[in-house]
Amino acid sequence: MIVVMVCHNNFKHTKDAVKSILDSKDDKTGVKLVLVDNGSDDGVTWEYMQELVKDNPGFIEAHRNARNEWFTIANGEVIKRYPGEDIYLLNYLYR
């Protein structure tokens, strides 16, 4: 199972969402969280994602888009990488 989360800046919300995922599941066997930095320019989102990959090998993967793509395009790029997998698109609302 692949869980995709596309992020653009909003470091605090990204961090909170990832923490919730990490805290919610003890057995992560068969699950991969794919984070997409969708052209963030805040100077922390991509760096945070790289730390997560290093701290969670095999569970978290991160990709970076050079620019902010449409949400559907960013998700579609990940979907193409995992043909035949069950894929869940995670979207979060912030205010």
For residues 15-44, average pLDDT: 87
83: left (phi over 0), alpha (psi -120 to 50) or beta: beta
Between CA 72 and CA 50 the distance in angstroms is 23
Number of Cβ within a 10 Å radius of residue 38: 22
**pLDDT band at 24, cuts 50/70/90?**
confident
The answer to whether 10 and 35 have CB atoms below 8 angstroms apart is no
Q: What is the pTM of this model?
A: 0.88
Residue 93: pLDDT above 70? no
User: Per this entry, what is the length of the chain?
Assistant: 95
